Amino acid sequence: MSLKNTTETLAQVTTPVPISISGLTWMGITMKDWVLTGTAVLLIFQLIVITPKAYRVLLQFKHNTTRTIKEVLKRYG
């Protein structure tokens, strides 16, 4: 990929952000609201991605804790 292609691609990717912000500002949505909306979308996306991973970790922790308690009871009980 040449430098020209890279530059054109970068310009195409980064152009919609200022255009959409300008358009929303023109429609009456302030920059503060734009940042709040973007933060909310990012938070929801992160929760969707992180929740299954956290659930698996908690299940593994529960499984290991139960196994450890059973081993202790078996040994000393």
Residues spanned by the domain of 63: 3-76
pTM confidence score? 0.44
| Secondary structure in 3-state letters for the chain | CCHHHHHHHHHHHHCHHHHHHHHHHHCCCCHHHHHHHHHHHHHHHHHHHHHHHHHHHHHHHHHHHHHHHHHHHHHHC
User: In this predicted model, what pLDDT tens digit does every residue of 5-62 receive, in sequence order?
Assistant: 776 666 655 555 666 666 666 777 777 887 888 888 888 988 888 888 888 888 888 8
Number of domains in the chain: 1
